[in-house]
Chains A and B, each alone.
Chain A
């Protein structure tokens, strides 16, 4: 692995079930994440994914790729376009730095209306594990 390596993209279908299940699993009962009518009253066309679920999906994207021995050290994300039901988000990653066993990966997630998430993930990858560049973990 070296800086500049691209991770294979991961497509996430944004269903109502994913949005609601993610909200409940993260104990986030804000109405905009499960009640379309109240979401509309707050100026949103529909319910949308909460930030904790996005965070979880970004973490999953990295460990799916680097494997179970990879350890997440830092995840910093910023949200943009909301994830609404019926959309698809495509997560992409690019290794920005790789030093010893520590990798810094830049992550983006785009959906049908724009860029949902940008983030930087720092993780350590066990030295014994070799991951082919661009290969699935």
Chain B
């Protein structure tokens, strides 16, 4: 499976993650002692005169520590930000490959350069879904390469919040109206913020929703009148369950009787769902939804000004 984000992340391969980084402290006996105490390592090679640092400490000398990383390259920050924005806010290290070319000794001052080697495709693990990012660091003392350090992290959206993260990423679209030649005029009116009602030109009966023929006299001839926008709640239901993507229950769905006499089903907005009542005066409003993928305009109804139910 490929994805659009992966293509953007892949562009960072080969770019620097750190340039001319410098270890916070020279290699030193206290840090070596803390390390050996923590890991229970009693190797005499790590103590006394002529001590070397445990080779596996290689990364410890280049860690940013509590005050964070300095000298991190912009490309790496951008890469991590992209992942954060995609909901991959957690990080866990998964792989570490180190090569030790010569031992480090107290007094050695380490410098390092890191490159972004690769970014995996989107992977789902037990922890969550995300991307593996592999970096390679060359550690030097003076001009001498003393070790290399390849590090792989999983930057991921934790499982428990995976669904929410996905929701943010691919916000579900509201269902689209089915527009056909019988109702295209209605949706064209909505697009221009006009609520058009069909009127039979044979018997003057208004009809809604839009239909090919008059339900009073059967005539196929019609024109339209624009609704003034005033109405009352003729009936309503409150939607609790099941929940559909793009909707957050509970919400009120009203059958609104327009002042012109026809009825239309739509959402009753700007009022708590449990305050909607039959007979409540409402007025028309046009609202835009799903702005990012082509505007969807829908007619909805809000309580008429000054008449919000207590």
Please determine whether chains A and B interact with each other in the same assembly. yes
B-contacting residues of A (Cβ < 8 Å)? 12, 18, 21-22, 24-30, 32, 42-44, 50-53, 55-60, 63-64, 68-69, 71-79
Residues of A within 8 A of B59 (CB): 26, 52, 55
In the assembly, what is the distance between CA of A72 and CA of B100, in Å?
7
Complex CA gap A78/B154 in Å reads 12
Determine if B243 is an interface residue (Cβ-Cβ < 8 Å).
no
Cβ of B43 and Cβ of A29 under 8 Å apart? no
Query: DSSP class of A's interface residues: helix, strand, loop or mixed?
Result: mixed
Chain B residues within 8 Å of A, Cβ to Cβ: 24, 31, 34-35, 37-45, 54-57, 59-60, 63-66, 89-100, 103, 127-128, 158-161
- With beta carbons under 8 angstroms apart, the residue of B55, B91, B92, B127 that contacts A59 is B55
Contact B56 A75 (CB under 8 A): yes
Q: A27-B60, A43-B90 are in contact. Are A74 and B100 (CB under 8 A)?
A: yes
**What 8 A-B pairs come out closest when comparing CB atoms?**
A43-B158, A59-B56, A27-B63, A21-B38, A76-B97, A51-B93, A60-B41, A25-B38
- Closest residue on chain A to residue B150 by CB atoms: A76
- CB<8 Å pairs between A and B, sample of 14: A25-B37, A25-B39, A25-B60, A29-B65, A42-B90, A43-B159, A58-B56, A60-B43, A64-B42, A72-B56, A74-B98, A75-B97, A76-B96, A77-B95
Chain B residues, CB < 8 A from A69: 45
Interface contact B66-A29, CB-CB below 8 Å? yes
Residues of A within 8 A of B63 (CB): 26-28
In the complex, which residues of chain B have a beta carbon less than 8 angstroms from the beta carbon of A28? 63
Q: What is the number of contacts between chain A and chain B, taking CB atoms within 8 Å? A: 118
Residues of chain A within 8 A (CB-CB) of B57 are: 26, 56
Question: In the bound complex, how far is the Cα of B88 from the Cα of A56, in angstroms?
Answer: 28
Per the bound structure, the CA–CA distance linking A72 and B99 in Å amounts to 9
B38, B45, B94, B159, most chain A CB atoms within 10 A: B38
Distance between Cα atoms of A57 and B35 in the complex (Å): 10
Closest A residue, CB atoms, query B60: A26
A55 touching B92 in the complex, CB below 8 Å, given contacts A60-B39, A60-B41: no
CA gap between A24 and B63 in the complex, in Å = 11
- The answer to whether B35 and A56 touch across the interface, beta carbons within 8 angstroms, is yes
Q: Is the CB of B161 within 8 A of A79?
A: no
Please name all residues of chain B whose beta carbon is closer than 8 Å to the beta carbon of A21 when the two chains form the complex.
34, 37-38
Choose among A18, A26, A27, A64 the residue with the greatest number of B CB atoms under 10 Å from its CB.
A27
Known interface pairs A26-B60, A74-B100; 19 further A-B residue pairs with C-beta atoms within 8 A, sorted by A's residue number: A24-B34, A27-B24, A27-B64, A27-B65, A29-B65, A42-B90, A43-B90, A55-B56, A59-B54, A59-B55, A60-B41, A60-B43, A64-B43, A72-B55, A74-B99, A75-B96, A76-B95, A78-B95, A79-B94
